[in-house]
A and B are shown apart, each in its own frame.
Chain A
Amino acid sequence: MALTIQKRDQLFGIFLTLPGLATLLIIIVFPIIFTIITSFYDYTLLNPHHDSFVGLDNYQEVIEEDYIGDSVLITSQFVLSTVLIEFFIGFIIALSLNKVKRFKTVYYVILLAPLMINPVVVGLIWRMILHTELGIFNYLLKLLDINRVNWLGDNDTAFWTIVFVDIWHQVSFMTILLLAGLSALPREPYEAARMDGASSLRCLISITLPLMRPVITVAILLRLIFSIKTFDIIYIMTKGGPGISTDLVSYFIYRSAFFGLDIGRASALSVGLLIIVLFLTFFLYKYMRSLN
Chain B
Amino acid sequence: MAEIILNNLTKVYSQNIIAVDKIDLKINDGEFMVFLGPSGCGKSTTLRMIAGLETITEGDIIIGDKIVNNVDSAERDLAIVFQNYALYPHMTIKGNLSFGLKLRKLANAEIEKRVMYTAELLEIKPLLNRKPKELSGGQQQRVALGRALVREPVAFLFDEPLSNLDAKLRASMRTELIKLHRKLNTTTIHVTHDQVEAMTMGERICILNQGKLIQLGTPLDIYNNPVNTFVAGFLGSPPMNLFDTKILPNNDCLNFKISNNLISLPNKEFRTLIKYSGCEIIFGIRPEDLYIEKISKNMIDFEVSVLAVESLGSEAIIVANFENGQEIYAKVDRNFQAAYKDKLRIYFDFNKIKFFNKNSTESI
- Asked if chains A and B come from one complex, the reply is yes
| Interface residue A51 (Cβ < 8 Å from any Cβ of B) | no
Residue among B86, B89, B147 with the highest chain A CB neighbour number at 10 A: B86
Shortest CB distance A129–B (Å): 43
Which single member of A186, A194, A207, A210 contacts B74 (CB below 8 Å)?
A194
- The answer, yes or no, to whether B149 is at the interface (CB within 8 Å) is no
Q: Let me know if B80 and A189 touch, CB within 8 A.
A: no
Interchain CA distance A213-B91 in the complex, whole Å:
13
| B79 smallest CB distance to A (angstroms) | 6
Closest to B72 in A: A194
A211 to B91, CA, bound (A): 10
The verdict on B53 contacting chain A, using a C-beta distance below 8 Å, is yes
Q: In the complex, which residues of chain A have a beta carbon less than 8 angstroms from the beta carbon of B52?
A: 194
Interface of B is mostly: loop
Report 16 cross-chain contacts, Cβ distance below 8 Å, ordered by A residue.
Answer: A189-B88, A189-B89, A191-B51, A191-B53, A192-B80, A194-B72, A194-B74, A195-B51, A195-B53, A195-B74, A196-B99, A196-B147, A196-B151, A197-B75, A197-B103, A210-B91
5 cross-chain pairs, A with B, having the tightest CB-CB distances, nearest first: A188-B86, A196-B100, A197-B74, A210-B90, A192-B86
A77 at the interface (CB under 8 A from B): no
When distances are taken between beta carbons in the complex, the residues of chain B under 8 Å from A195 are: 51, 53, 73-74, 78-80, 100
Is A206 engaged at the interface, CB distance under 8 Å to the other chain?
Answer: yes
Chain A nearest Cβ from B77, distance in angstroms: 9
Inter-chain contact A188/B82, CB cutoff 8 Å: yes
Does B6 belong to the interface (CB within 8 Å)? no
How far is the CB of B68 from the nearest CB of chain A, in Å?
13
Contact code string B73-109 (vs A, CB < 8 Å = 1, else 0): 1110011101011111111000000011001100000
Chain A min CB distance to B238 (Å): 35
Given contacts A188-B82, A202-B103, A206-B99, contact A194 B88 (CB under 8 A): no
Q: What chain A residues lie within 8 Å of B79 (beta carbons)?
A: 195
Interface string of B43-79 (1 = CB under 8 A from A): 0000000011100000000000000000011110011
Further contacts, 10 of them, CB under 8 A, given A195-B80, A196-B100: A188-B84, A189-B89, A191-B82, A192-B80, A192-B87, A195-B73, A196-B99, A196-B147, A198-B74, A198-B103
Distance (whole angstroms) from the CB of B81 to the closest CB of chain A:
9
- Complex Cα gap A99–B78 (Å): 26
Contact with B along A74-111 (1 / 0, CB 8 A): 00000000000000000000000000000000000000
Q: Are the CB atoms of B86 and A194 closer together than 8 Å? A: no
Q: Which of B72, B86, B90 contacts A191 (CB 8 A)?
A: B86
List B contacts of A193 (CB < 8 A).
88, 99
Number of interface residues of B (CB under 8 A): 25
Closest to B99 in A: A196
Please name the residue on chain A nearest to B51 by beta carbon.
Answer: A195
With contacts A197-B100, A197-B103, A202-B103 taken as known, whether A211 is within 8 angstroms of B89 at the C-beta atoms is: yes
Inter-subunit contact B82/A192 (CB<8 Å): yes
Complex CA–CA separation, A211 to B85 (angstroms): 16
> Min CB distance, A191 to chain B, in Å?
5
Are B74 and A192 interface neighbours, CB within 8 A? no
In the bound complex, what is the Cα–Cα distance between A130 and B43 (angstroms)?
A: 60
Complex-state Cα separation, A195 to B144, whole angstroms:
13
CA distance A272 to B79 in the complex (A): 58
User: Considering only CB atoms, which chain A residue lies closest to B96 in the complex?
Assistant: A192
Size of A's binding interface in residues, CB under 8 A: 17
State the CA gap A135–B99 with chains docked (Å): 55
Considering the complex, give the chain A residue whose CB is closest to the CB of B132. A189
Our pick among A194, A202, A206 for the contact of B53 (Cβ within 8 Å) is: A194
A192 to B91, CA, bound (A): 13
Taken together as a complex, chains A and B put the C-alpha atoms of A133 and B87 apart, in Å, by 60
Which residue of chain B is the closest to A188 with respect to CB atoms?
Answer: B86
| Chain B contacts for A197, CB-based, 8 A | 74-75, 100, 103-104
Nearest-Cβ distance from residue A68 to partner chain B, whole angstroms? 42
- For B86, the chain A residues whose CB sits under 8 A away are 186, 188-189, 191-192
Give Cα A192 to B72, complex, Å.
13
Residues on the B chain within 8 Å of A206, using CB: 88, 99
List which B265-292 residues lie within 8 A (CB) of chain A: none
| CB–CB B88/A207 < 8 A | yes
Which residue of A is nearest B103, CB measured?
A197
Q: Give Cα A246 to B63, complex, Å.
A: 65
Chain A 47-78 against B: per-residue CB contact (8 Å), 1 yes, 0 no? 00000000000000000000000000000000
Task: Kindly state the separation between the CA atoms of A196 and B89 in the bound complex, as whole angstroms.
Answer: 15
Interface string of A204-220 (1 = CB under 8 A from B): 00110011010000000
Report how far A213 CA is from B78 CA in the complex, Å.
30
**Chain B, Cβ-Cβ closest to A212:** B90
B177-214 CB contacts (< 8 Å) to partner A:
none
> What is the minimal beta-carbon distance from A187 to any residue of chain B, in angstroms?
8
Q: Closest chain A residue to B101 by CB distance?
A: A196
Q: Nearest Cβ in chain A — how far from B141, in angstroms?
A: 14
Q: In the complex, how many angstroms separate the beta carbon of A195 from the nearest chain B beta carbon?
A: 5
Q: Chain A contacts of B80 at CB under 8 A?
A: 191-192, 195
Docked complex Cα distance between A192 and B103 (Å): 13
Query: B87 — which chain A residues lie within 8 A by C-beta?
Result: 189, 192
Q: How far is the CA of A206 from the CA of B103 in the complex (A)?
A: 11
A51 to B86 Cα, complex, angstroms? 68
Chain A positions within 8 Å of B104 at CB level: 197
- Shortest CB-to-CB span from B93 to chain A, Å, is 14
Chain B nearest Cβ from A48, distance in angstroms:
56
